[in-house]
Structure 1
Amino acid sequence: MSARGIGWTLHGDGKNVRPGGFVAPEERLTWPRTIGIGAQHVVAMFGATFLVPLITGFPPSTTLLFSGIGTILFLVITAGRVPSYLGSSFAFIAPIAAAQSQHGAPGALGGIIMAGAALALIGGIVHSAGTRWIQAAMPPIVTGAIVALIGLNLAPTAKAGFEQAPLTALVTVVSILLVTVLFKGILGRLSILVGVLTGYAVAMVRGEVDFAAIGSAAWFGLPDFAAPEFHLSVVGLFIPVVLVLVAENIGHMKSVAAMTDRDLDPYTGRALMADGLATMIAGSGGGSGTTTYAENIGVMAASRVYSTAAYWVAGIVAILLSLLPKFGALIATVPAGVLGGAGVVLYGMIGILGVRIWVQNRVDFSNPINLSTAGVALVVGIADFTWTIGDLTFAGIALGTASALIIFHGMTAIARARGSEHVPGPEELESSDHGARPSKLG
């Protein structure tokens, strides 16, 4: 494969996956089959990628455009070694909403760019120094607490949308839950998308959908762009997102490495830098911040096709769809009740994903350090504590994240000095399963 990640060898006869094997990142099937798999990746990322701009009020087509561009950029920077799709990150929803209340959409875009720059910088450090320092700074107890409080901090937002159309929202929630358990394979993994479509159908019957914007939209054209503004006061809102994206990207990299039997550690720094740059580009034009997608990792696991050629197809298809304004206008008609119902499930899932990190890594909650770290951080994040210093405002997610880091490392240092409590050492953190399975913040 070339340094730019294009130029694949044909897997077997190009028509079938060899028994017991898989299509490697540097391989591909025939182009018609590759295009079909790429389109499947678009479907897999579709529901989650569009929900973020719909919830935050960003133009859906703009987010889709930068999602496709970001995916292609990711493939180029990682030299085609890491099959991944960059879609909208749910971790950005809360800070975007908070930043918009202070400085409008331009201020939120500025925060997205700053978060992307920080992620790219961390990626550069990881590329040079490796990931062990991240594992030491953010052990599973801290990472799990941050992920959990980001999801649970959004609970009031889900409630507000739910109350605008309770019946429609309830149908959306029930549909998502039923599809999850009734169907296997790709359809089961698309439960959010199917649930939103079902809720949308109910909303149409109840007269809650306004189609006026679709008729006035053009068939072809560029999406709406917006310029960012930079305000120091939003920095505290977006710092926690960076920490989550780091953990999420590393987790996804480990998952793909395990499934493809490849050592992807040398490309972890590149992946972080690519996601950071993609997020900066998105924020520069009015799109949502990006992250690697667990939904697409699920598609690869089901199909056993890990070819990066399919992701080039997915990125190109996403860009082409973004150039259809009528399509974007249709997506924008999804009513608040549907979004509220989807939010109940999604935000709850994000919160529990934090708990899953604790379970997978066997976090010992009989240790008062772990108990205090998680307990205080969750209360601060869920209650949305706020601290204002001059022009700087730190809300629940930022304060909860800071609480988790300060409490864990502060209590650990004191306990080690006093010998009063067992704390995990560097060897235990290194051998931990931290981040080895994909989360679904995307």
Structure 2
Amino acid sequence: MHTLIKNAKVMGPQSFTGDILIADGKISALGRHLFAPADATIIDAKNNAVLPGLVDVHVHFREPGFDQKETIKTGAAAAAHGGFTTVVAMPNLDPVPDNVIDLRQLIKKNHSDAKIHVEQFAAITKGLHSNDVADYQALKDAGALGFSNDGVGIQDAATMYQAMQAAARVDAPIVAHIQDDGLMAGGVISTGTKAQAFGLPGINHVSESAQLARDLTLAEATGVHYHACHVSTKQSVELIRDAKARGVNVTAEATPHHLLLDYEHIPANDPNYKMNPPLRAEMDRLALLDGLEDGTIDMIATDHAPHTAEDKAGDFSTAAFGIVGSETAFALLYTSLVKSGRFTLDQLIQWMSTNPAKAFGLPAGTIGIGQPADLTIIDLNKQYKIDANTWLSKGKNSPFIGREVSGQVLYTLADGQIAYEEENK
């Protein structure tokens, strides 16, 4: 089966303008005026940008157990709408994929229900909340990409040390939700002016950085690949920078919302601004941007966290933590960081495709002959207002609704097959 993408403006390290020929899910030729068989699917890119498919190593698809919030099918469709061809799903599900039987069933459904590549993390500990480390060799053999208890910080240092030793033995990453519950103090918003203005209990930045300091020490001792999820504080960036300088095998991600918003942007006691970790101070947001620029932060990941309207009703004191991000990430970041001149499009591609693929050993992130035909075609000049009614996710919980952005995904192809096509091209 063949597909020919004509008039492509390929972006990234292998940039050129021309055609892309796809055969049996892989890129078979790059060049000008390529010939395709008579039965080939023809896509005219119309000189729009063609990027290596975006890669998101942090999504919550909620199935099984919480299908009212999202399903694998709706979550994958939303990711494709946002230009993502590969995502990695978190294991805070019911049942938790902490054993081979449940993990295999989940991976099978990821493959059957998604038009993009959905990889799966298994749990660090059984049931997420225990100190009983799972069988990593068996889970890796069953298809786990790595191990995470996202949503739950590992509170016991001995458990994390044991988990890192076990993960190192099977050459798999520990993907950490960094949170010391004893320092959370029942907080629902970052400490600072907005917590005071709204009369809400605050979350101190040390609840993240203190546990991160512990984990980096343990990672250095074990040699494990340690990945820090949704880094949000200046202190955390400094800790990771220092650890990398010492040779610790650490990678880190930041979310679009922590890069673009700080707590001074919260207009009211609006739960669409409630996430964990919370929006921090401006100095933290700026430190994250600097960390991206100097390589301390390796990648951008959405932490796509859909909830029902009921879950996000009320205010900060009652609503669930988390926002959606799959369908808005690229346009928000391109508009705010690239069009503003802060970064280049090539840098954004590195952070949203090349680097996450490389860090987790995924066959993605580049456009080249013989590579999987995972491609995203984007009209970078298309301006529009973010509208939740156009989303394919079940979740509509976002502080970015109504924002003017540029960069509309026209096509998303995974293994050469169209996973998303914009109707109003």
What TM-score do the two structures reach when normalised by structure 2?
0.24
- Higher relative contact order (Cα pairs below 8 Å, separated by 6+ residues): 1
Q: When you count strand as a share of all residues, which structure comes out higher?
A: 2
What TM-score do the two structures reach when normalised by structure 1?
0.24
Q: When you count helix as a share of all residues, which structure comes out higher?
A: 1
